[in-house]
Copies of this chain bind each other. A is one copy, B any other.
Amino acid sequence: MSDALLSATQDPQLRPFLPLVYVAWADGELDDEELVALRERLAAQPWVSPGARAALVMWLDPERPPSPSALQAALAAVKQAASTVDPATARSIADLGAAMVDGDPELAERTRAALAEIEEALGLALRAEAVAGAQDAVVRAPALDLAALQRLLDGPHAAARAEVRAFLAEPGHRASFGISTAEQRALCHGWLRELARRGFGDEAFPGVTTRAPDVGAFVAKFETLAFGDLSLLIKFGVQFGLFGGSILHLGSEAHRELLVDVASLRLVGCFAMSETGHGSNVADIETTARYDEATGEFVIHTPRESARKDWIGGAATYARMATVFAQLEVAGERHGVHAFLVNIRDESGATLAGVRAADSGHKMGLNGVDNGRLWFDHVRVPRSAMLDRFARVTADGKYESEIPSPARRFFTMLGTLVAGRVSIASAAVSVAKVGLTVAIRYAAVRRQFGAEGAPETTILDYPAHQRRLLPALATTYALHFAIAALQARYVAGGEDTREVEAMAAGLKSYASWHATRTLQDCRECCGGQGYLSINRIAVLKDDADVFTTFEGDNTVLMQLVAKGLLTAFKQQFAGARFTGMLRHVARRAATVMLEKNPIVTRLTDADHLRDGEFHAAAFRYREERLLQTVAQRMRKRLSAGIDGQRAATEVQEHLLALAQAHVERVVFEAFAAGVLACADEGLRGWLGRLCDLFALSRLAADMAWFVEDGYVESWKARAIRREVEQLSAEVRTAAVELVDGFGIPDACLAAPIAFGEALT
């Protein structure tokens, strides 16, 4: 057998099969069943001569593997052939095989076609590079233009970001850990004062404290601040975003005068929405604001223990005023949740009469934020204390609002939260960037285990380590672009508020879950070093962990996203009868069947797997299919007389899957658009690789769904996993540059292990 294989390197009809035979044995990816299937396919080619056929049958006998030297000889022949063809075009076994046909173009073409068919049918996504010595010459990181990369990522507010970077880099502004809660709070509050002194608060209130509308710069600053201490970030967000934002968005002109003091921090405030009994379900909060017509005052009251305000940042110590959300009662009638400005402390910090405050207690992280509880015992505030932009009570006790629907009014009041969600989504991505920068820099220098006698292996070269860090890096890049797009839409304002709200809710959830998972992986990937607070990952993990449940619990928000999609779907057919919808679904199903055609479901070559059109189609397909099935399930339940709430609960898992699919599609499209828009060709190549890695790793993560659905066949699923490994290996070569491009100040990384200083 060995001799036969050796001599085949000279046989013109057999030579083209050498790459395939080599791959079948040497790569070791084929099991016996596959070997046999391959043999049968080859032997069935009508144009192969009987002699060559016999040789192929022999070479692919699972019981008679070739000797190492015969394989080496085959490899040498393949490499020689590969050296004569353009590596950019010869990416498949078929191409290589065709190149090994000497001087007979027709035979070359026939060979290529036959090999391509076999390759595809068997899911042999083993590319020519691997055969032709790719291991000798892996993709090398080009001299990535780091400055260009950072410019691209910084986007339109580079100056604002630079200001924050400068602040974070200054001595004394390093993230805190291991100090007492009291010290940490004082430290963070000092930093906040310093930021206010530098005018950071002014940009939050365009047209009030500044002339130019600088919301974009404000959001960029928030996002960049998230490289540093997260307690400071949250305090910054509470003061300028939530408290100041509630005055800006819900108040009228008179209230806005306060904003100058809010911006300067002369007036420290808090945002008292959540209650112990009601976190997610804001509509059912229990604090009351009864209008007393006799005195023209509102009476703010905590009727029972579950109605106490809870987790309120600033309430424990620093805040002097609170925006209190309460159920408005006028003349015995309830009008739903409205917001009121209530003084809670005097200048000396003592709570005012009728107000009780307490600390919420020690937390997993963010102990620099003084979260607290508030109780109100019939506290009276003037009529002007109501934030009355959208609704008000007249002096003679009449309730007025331009928004007739109570539900719509409620969501308008909650609009303040959108900015918070855009901000938290942005911060979550920043946090993932810091964690990955520390972990990847460490993994690029840390060595452990290796071949006898040789230096130990760099841990970033282990496939398992790559799998944990590099798809996460790709997702972080993808989210960067998705959130930049969200910020731009939010800042631009305009008519699509509902869409922006849904996108903010979805991206906040997706990004915060991503940050939590990524930091956990980074922590574990750094072993004991990852457990030390000084290396930042652990502290970030603890601080950012609450991102998944505050500013709207992720699970609740994702259901909102899904319900929004269902509503839009239903509106598409408003007026049409249910059967009309079904006919539409049937038409869609026909399109879908096209996408499921057997060629596409089995395509496994790298060109196809790295084709953005394939990714886009797969993400779209999954979302549409889930939307249709969820809509049908809801419809059937509703028509069986089940109420909406229960129907939604029964299909909760499907709603969550739909929301996940939707957000992932949006993220992918934003990243793909970002890649396309990148003018620098070198950068674009790397961003493109990251985009492919994001897309394929996310498809791989949901592969059970795609395979069950029939959108992807088993062979292709395997090829996708291999492509994820291959892409990770490629991205690994530029991984350090790709995290350096985030432009995180050294002082923020703080971590000795990020600087090869694990030993200090």
Residues of chain A touching chain B, judged by Cβ–Cβ distance below 8 Å, are 25-29, 31-33, 62-65, 67-68, 71-72, 177-178, 180-181, 274, 276-281, 284, 305-306, 308, 310-311, 360-365, 448-452, 456-457, 461-465, 467, 516, 520, 523-524, 527-528, 530-534, 538-539, 541-542, 545-546, 548-550, 553-556, 578-579, 582-583, 585-586, 589, 628-629, 632-637, 639-641, 643, 645-646, 649-653, 656, 703-704, 707-710, 714, 717-718, 725, 758-759
Compute how far the CA of A524 lies from the CA of B549 in the bound complex, rounded to whole angstroms. Answer: 6
Q: Are A527 and B708 in contact (CB under 8 A)?
A: no
Across-interface contacts of A452 in B (CB, < 8 A): 645
Q: B532 touching A360 by the CB < 8 A rule?
A: yes
Q: Please name all residues of chain B whose beta carbon is closer than 8 Å to the beta carbon of A645 when the two chains form the complex.
A: 449-452
Contact across chains for A550 and B528 when beta carbons are under 8 A apart: yes
A31 touches B553 (CB 8 A): no
Q: Mostly helix, strand, loop or mixed at chain A's interface?
A: helix
Closest Cβ–Cβ distance, residue A290 to chain B (whole Å) = 23
Instruction: Using CB atoms, name the residue of chain B closest to A24.
Output: B636
Query: Using Cβ atoms and an 8 Å threshold, which residues of chain B touch A277?
Result: 759
Please, how many angstroms separate the alpha-carbon atoms of A363 and B531 in the complex? 6
A542: B residues at CB distance < 8 A: 364, 538, 542
Other-chain contact of A532, B305, B363, B707 (Cβ < 8 Å):
B363
Q: Once the chains are docked, how many angstroms separate the CA of A530 from the CA of B708?
A: 36
- Across the interface, do A457 and B649 meet the contact criterion of CB distance under 8 Å? yes
Contact flag A589-B703 (CB < 8 Å), given A281-B448, A542-B364, A549-B531? no
Knowing A63-B582, A448-B278, the reply to whether A31 touches B462 (Cβ < 8 A) is no
A279 proximity list for chain B (CB < 8 A): 448, 527-528
A585-B32 in contact given A578-B65, A640-B26 (Cβ < 8 Å): yes
Which B residues are in CB contact (< 8 Å) with A530?
Answer: 549
Pair A528/B311 contact, Cβ less than 8 Å:
yes
B629 and A451 contact, CB distance less than 8 A: no
Q: Given A63-B579, A632-B31, is A532 in contact with B652 using a C-beta cutoff of 8 Å?
A: no
Query: Cβ of A534 and Cβ of B362 under 8 Å apart?
Result: yes
Chain B residue nearest to A523 in the complex (CB): B545
Q: How far does the alpha carbon of A1 sit from the alpha carbon of B653 in the complex, in Å?
A: 32
Q: How far is the CA of A634 from the CA of B635 in the complex (A)?
A: 53
Asked if B555 and A531 make an inter-chain contact with CB atoms under 8 angstroms apart, the answer reads: no
User: Judging by beta carbons under 8 Å apart, are A546 and B533 in contact?
Assistant: no
Report which residue of A308, A457, A523 has the largest number of chain B beta carbons within 10 angstroms of its beta carbon: A523
Does the CB pair A533–B26 fall under 8 Å?
no
Q: Are B708 and A703 in contact (CB under 8 A)?
A: yes
A311 to B530: give the CA distance in the assembly, Å.
Answer: 12
Give the interface centre of A71, A450, A708 by most chain B CB atoms within 10 Å: A708
A109 to chain B, nearest CB (A): 31
Enumerate chain B residues within 8 angstroms of A707, measured Cβ to Cβ: 704, 707-708, 714
**A219, B9: Cα distance in complex, Å:** 64
Closest to A304 in B: B759
A196 to B539, CA, bound (A): 34
Cα(A360)–Cα(B524), bound, Å? 18
